[in-house]
Amino acid sequence: MTNSSKPTSSSATLADWQKAAAKSAPNGAVNALNWQTPDGITVKPLYTKADTADLPHTDSLPGFAPYLRGPQATMYAVRPWTIRQYAGFSTAEESNAFYRKALAAGGQGVSVAFDLATHRGYDSDHPRVTGDVGKAGVAIDSVEDMKILFDQIPLDKVSVSMTMNGAVLPVLAGYIVAAQEQGVSQDKLSGTIQNDILKEFMVRNTYIYPPEPSMRIIGDIIEYTAKHMPKFNSISISGYHMQEAGANQALELAFTLADGREYVRTALAKGLDVDDFAGRLSFFWAIGMNFYLEVAKMRAARVLWHRIMTSFNAKSPKSLMLRTHCQTSGWSLTEQDPYNNIVRTTVEAMAAVFGGTQSLHTNSFDEAIALPTEFSSRIARNTQIIIQEETHITSVVDPWAGSYMMESLTQEMIDKAWAIIEEVEAMGGMIKAVDSGWAKLKIEAAAAEKQARIDSGQDVIVGVNKYKLSKEEALADQPEVLVIDNVMVRDGQIKRLDALRAKRDKASVASALQALTDAASQGTGNLLDLTVKAIRLRATVGEVSDALEATFGRHRADTQKVTGVYAAAYETEGDWAKEWDAIKGEINDFAAKQGRRPRVMVSKLGQDGHDRGAKVVATAFADLGFDVDMGPLFQTPEECARQAIENDVHAVGVSTLAAGHKTLIPAIIQALKDQGADDIIVFVGGVIPQQDYAFLYESGVKGIYGPGTPIPACARDVLQQIEKALS
């Protein structure tokens, strides 16, 4: 006897589902179940075949234009993504040891993090970088450091990714010369140099020269690598730092692709054929906790880049396909309940994989507290290995293909981002959008809105504004942190610099540096070619940067802040709104009593250009009723103290994210004392290990506010400290 019954399709309709859903929906309104993303996209709780009926590209295949489903036909089924660990530890020796160990443990490429002194084109002995040398990456002053950095790493076999933009010429030249002296010719080198200066002017701020000469440098690098380094990616166009600075996925996608369009135009202006260089352009995305949108963003990016490159008449498939590296979010990591970050990074890594990344870095769980340790880095690396080796996710090419929701959301991202790109084009392109400050303000507004949603409890962050640990549990949960002896690193670098300068041919170096200055001023020659010659003669990173600065000058950014965006999140009923109004009332009482509002100066010291936190705090404090001054980036403690006194502020708030707090914070307190203004209080926010709190309080700090501290609570405490100082 056989069972003749066959499965039948459901006879239920969308209207039937709506009736059923209404029974459990709030007040019976099914629309209340819709999710409004930060990008302004409405995501429904249910998608059906009808949502994809009119969409283009849904029948496309991976490896074929417009590459919606991936740039390679077989994707991970044949070759998984490259596992990278972005790292740099104080000295070239320590970083080299880490890279070699990571490669032996399953890493498949080297990604170099440089310290901020190197990023900004200063040698380690420069007086402006005393607190920055070796703190947030490896200190590189010359090719001698580069040779140590890559010692016993076969550069003809291991690809190298270098996050460098401002000092891109001496750093890339140092890598080329170090490889040649290792016996590897430059045509065999593979990897990527970030070389994306436009996003520096928007968010990251490790620029050196103004936009116009910076774009010339990019053109020269694309030209040089197209001719001499066919395996090397001449630019990695980065959205990562935009999202880390506050951009939502649509802004990150649009601004990054618009940047890419500008770089293509720059290379074409050099007389290059588009297919001679476009195949070596790559991209770099941040992957945050907005899981569906991150997958959709990466699928949308490939379609839009194909559209852009088609407009340049690119013919080669390599020119038309977007290839990308991804990194899980650093901003999503929390100081509170830090082991939750392992889960966050895993979720973000999965989104990157489902989106079709070509390489991936996973952040360590302790990076909201301090620089990652070897222990935390191993967990981060193993997260990728487990996904590759244990889940079988790699067995299927683009598993999201055909999903009613994902295909619809991908098209929404395409449309949303393209509208922004067209808005940028109407302004005259991304250079104009950056130069005017418009692009930066759009990102800062998104950052302020996001922070307000967290502080007001509308967006849940587990362990921060919901399911919080008790104080005792939080203290017990603090992991060990990596401590860098900044003084020891700097002293060692200075000794190496002194030895290098004593042995080299001074006249030859001076001649090579003068050739760079002349080429910069006359618009002749290729600046990377000339830098390679200078670096081979043992010119330093700082000397090359100075030679170019003699003509180009050093860029100074305008300081602007958005207003009203943070406060808008509190324009609702509820306890958060009442708390907001109460603090505003206290500030008004202060003004009535003192004859003026409390005045604070929000500052960044040293070479740390990450200013998301500083800008958000300044915006929120201003919305509450404080008078707020913004200090310029890259101040010394003495310059900061002088400005604070001139502006007659009650308090200086220092944002610190680059581990220089034990050097720079005591220095600003001492500078205020030296200038007779020790009545100005100092408070600090940012990435500071709990173990350093006592040191900072003993130094005279009046308040420390780590990641996740609600800004209203911080503001009230600062107000109380000001009142105490005045009493």
Which residues are catalytically annotated?
Answer: 86, 240-241, 604, 608, 610
Question: For 468, which DSSP code?
Answer: P
Rounded to the nearest 5 degrees, what angle is found at the Cα of 498, between the Cα atoms of 520 and 114?
60
Length of the chain: 727
Rounded Cα distance, 243 and 255, in Å = 11
Contacts for 316-322 with beta carbons within 8 Å, 24 or more apart?
316/275, 316/278, 316/279, 317/65, 318/275, 318/278, 318/279, 319/274, 319/275, 319/278, 319/279, 320/65, 320/66, 320/67, 321/65, 321/67, 321/71, 322/67, 322/71, 322/283
Cis peptide before 66 (omega within 30 of 0): yes
Rounded Cα distance, 616 and 450, in Å = 10
Rounded Cα distance, 630 and 563, in Å = 13
Instruction: Find, among 212, 96, 228, the residue nearest to 172 by Cα.
Output: 228
Rounded Cα distance, 120 and 111, in Å = 19
In sequence order, what are the residues at sequence separation of 6 or more whose Cβ sits closer than 8 angstroms to the Cβ of residue 576?
A: 455, 456, 457, 570
CA dihedral 397, 403, 408, 412 (to 10 degrees): -40
Evaluate whether 527 touches 220 at the Cβ level (below 8 Å).
Answer: yes
Question: For 35, which DSSP code?
Answer: E
Q: What residue has token string 């309940």?
A: 337
Element (H, E) at 416: helix 404-427
Instruction: Find, among 410, 508, 293, 386, the residue nearest to 52 by Cα.
Output: 410
Element (H, E) at 600: strand 599-604
Q: What residue has token string 């598993």?
A: 399
Helix axes 168-182, 211-228, angle to 10 degrees: 20
User: Tokens at residue 638, please?
Assistant: 């003495």
In sequence order, what are the residues at sequence separation of 6 or more whose Cβ sits closer than 8 angstroms to the Cβ of residue 430?
A: 198, 255, 258, 259, 261, 262, 424, 439
User: Tokens at residue 243, please?
Assistant: 């999202």
**DSSP bridge partners of 232:** 191
User: Tokens at residue 326, please?
Assistant: 């991804």
**DSSP bridge partners of 160:** 110, 191
Rounded Cα distance, 11 and 228, in Å = 64
User: Tokens at residue 495, please?
Assistant: 């000794």
Rounded to the nearest 5 degrees, what angle is found at the Cα of 247, between the Cα atoms of 245 and 253?
125
Instruction: Find, among 614, 580, 595, the residue nearest to 715 by Cα.
Output: 580
Rounded Cα distance, 166 and 716, in Å = 39
- Alpha-carbon separation of residue 475 from 371, 379, 691, 692, 701 (angstroms): 19, 22, 10, 13, 21
Evaluate whether 305 touches 338 at the Cβ level (below 8 Å).
Answer: no
- Alpha-carbon separation of residue 220 from 268, 279, 527 (angstroms): 11, 17, 6
In sequence order, what are the residues at sequence separation of 6 or more whose Cβ sits closer than 8 angstroms to the Cβ of residue 269?
A: 219
